[in-house]
Amino acid sequence: MDPRVPESIPPVASGRTGEVHESVIEAIGRTPLIRLQRLTEGIRTPVYVKMESFNPGGSVKDRIGLAMIESAERSGLLGPGGTVVEGTSGNTGVGLAIVAAVRGYRCIFTIPDKMSAEKIKLLRAYGAEVVITPSDVPPDHPEYYVNAARRIAEETPGAFMADQHYNPDNPEAHYRTTGPEIWGQTGGRVTHFVASPGTGGTISGTGRYLKERNPEIRIVAGDPEGSIYAEYSRTGRKEPDAPYLVEGIGNDKLSGTVHFEWIDEFRTVGDPESFAMARRLAREEGLLSGGSTGLIVSVALDVAREVDDPDACIVALLCDSGERYLSKVFDEEWLREHGLEGVLDAEAESSE
């Protein structure tokens, strides 16, 4: 075998082939790993993506939607005829709405107006009531999407506020599912896990599990330029945030479900690089995803170049399906309207 060619991880059965389920809920999780090929040309370190778009709702948030509702049912916070309320950037709402549809609950979600039209339509397609809130208000404003959701929950009889930013069932879901899946799928060979905190549940829960199995595994967080997480991790200061266009990751306040003790480092990436990589993933790897995944893969490729080791194994999270960003990341007019012509110019140059 040519020593310059990284050895592939032997295939591990995902457990999906030929399965028969009683409901769509049972199809959540057990998502495959896919190795990047063209994007890693010239890079010796293998990079795999964890395909969370394979979940029924098309995103990693299906996992916590199920976990939070089942925990609320067990504790008596949510009963027959109840209402699930949440402030969401879209994907958690979809995960909650799928479980609610199966269990017969009503859903009311608040969502900031910067989120894609596709996400809003998806929530309504699952029968959820959607309240659009302004994006340009501070976290202490009553119309901030999380605060608006809390007010609705307080005013609605039988309501359960999922509260993903503070609900311990969020990281626990990934500790119990995502982490063990990655460990098993790589045969314990994973050396780096790359994700990006929004609530922080995915990277915290997965990171905790992996580090308990092997403390040498590096947990690397990508953060959008404008989010407060990266600066806080380095200095302990909550610097003022700035607007950014990538959806669902980063934050303008500290989330109660991001546990910095399980994250080794933060790296900051801007909107242009994030969107450019998302478009490259679709065109060069056949993987349609959003800007958050583009950011994560950009970080993973940087780490892979630095590690430069064919025996290492980097796993990056593919957060969701790019179908919910067709009007944004994959729309040339939208990119131009938001000053991102450079993304298109770079594509044109590379195709010449």
Catalytic residue ranges: 61
- Cα 242 to chain center, whole Å? 20
The pair of three-digit structure tokens given for residue 23, joined into one six-digit string = 């409901």
- Burial of 216 per CB tally in 10 Å (0-12, 13-18, 19+): exposed
What tokens does 182 get? 């990655």
Cα distance between the two ends of the chain: 35
User: Other C-beta atoms within 10 Å of 317: how many?
Assistant: 27
Give CA–CA dist 265/101, Å, rounded.
39
Alpha carbon distance 162, 69 (integer Å): 7
The helix (run of H) or strand (run of E) holding residue 296 is: helix 291-307
Cα-to-chain-centroid distance, residue 263: 16
